[in-house]
Structure 1
């Protein structure tokens, strides 16, 4: 049988190729024409699978969000649920930092993101949090995770010691931060998450006293 003149396309293959472009070159580099070049097909052939680039990006975001673990809420321990969710959420975003603006925009109608939002909200309410607090906790956790994923604190400093030595004595070791960026970023996220959860625990205890729970 003769080989087809053009590669056979699948939605999973299109998503994988698009994500590879985004990871390698950035979100702005992706267009349907650029993606067609990557797949060695005509751009028109992509539109039978995705009407717009936005539809494709939503599908990719949905696929990534499907990796986020919200199973910890099934234990009934809201703190454990938030910990598991926040860590896996950060890991999913950190694996594809160039796609963070798309994912951070919100769940919209994306099924995977909505299922996880539903599990988080339901898990918090079932554990005794008022619905309003559950909404704010979900939002606050997202702020923490997205902030951690979108930028690296440690990599924001120059590696040249002369930049800091004379003018910024309190930053005399800042040139070394980039060497340990992954460790610093991970530990800083864990510190922020722990402080956040400790603060929520105090609020939760106060709510119990007010309601007689």
Structure 2
């Protein structure tokens, strides 16, 4: 009886094939963040999640910041462009409100956009909002550089509001609402009469979303200040 030859067994990686497309990488990164939090996202951990080597990831992203910018661009691609009113001041407000709501859903995305210079890394969908705001300011009467200042001022406020609210919610969740809230009512009223009088009203007030109320006031003030210098 002839001797049966050994059947060669497969070697190397088994199971699902490596996911190396940009769409699969971004989907896995989004899942990792949603499941384990923003801090969990690293190139090494994402590579492990995809069952590929970190070197493979670097064919698609330069670093973690680049990965997050790509995630933000992909997120903004899904945001519907709002109907824009004819009035340039109102267009600015509508565009900013849409940006705020989109980033508020993904506050960690704002983390990487806190440094100037990020505009050159944004995709077409995100740049459309920037163009709308700058063009609206110029049409209202601002110079191009004043329009830049207006954008940057509202951007700082918007990102700051989103990050403060996100970090506050996370902190409150970590330590518990009772331990987190500060009591102004415990302050010495002889030294801090107004703060002591506010008491627990301050933390209750800070939980309210006043961005829709403040944004028009902020825009009006910046537009008035800028155009008063050009006329």
Q: TM-score if structure 1 supplies the norm length?
A: 0.73
Mean Cα deviation higher: 74-83 or 153-162 = 153-162
State the distance in 2 between where 1:130 and 1:205 align: 8
State the distance in 1 between where 2:216 and 2:66 align: 36
For residue 154 of structure 1, report the CA deviation from its aligned partner: 7.1
| 1:13 maps to which of 6, 24, 31 | 24
Cα pair distance change 1:207/1:66, threshold 3 Å: farther
Highest Rg: 1 or 2?
A: 2
List per-residue Cα deviations over 1:104-161 (Å, max 9, x = no partner).
Answer: 3321332334443233222322333221221111111101211111112975786358
Alignment map for 1:161-200 (pairs within 5 Å): 163-167=183-187, 169-174=196-201, 177=204, 181=207, 184=208, 186=209, 188-200=210-222
Cα pair distance change 1:164/1:134, threshold 3 Å: closer
- Which structure features the higher share of helix residues? 1
Contact 1:67 1:92 in 2 (8 A): no
Identify unmatched segments of 5+ residues in structure 1: none
Identify unmatched segments of 5+ residues in structure 2: 1-13, 189-195
Alignment map for 1:89-168 (pairs within 5 Å): 89-105=99-115, 106-112=118-124, 113-152=126-165, 159=178, 163-167=183-187
Cα pair distance change 1:133/1:44, threshold 3 Å: closer
Tell me the secondary structure at the aligned position of residue 119 of structure 2: coil
Give the CA RMSD over aligned residues.
3.5
For residue 205 of structure 1, report the CA deviation from its aligned partner: 6.6
Q: How many residues align?
A: 201
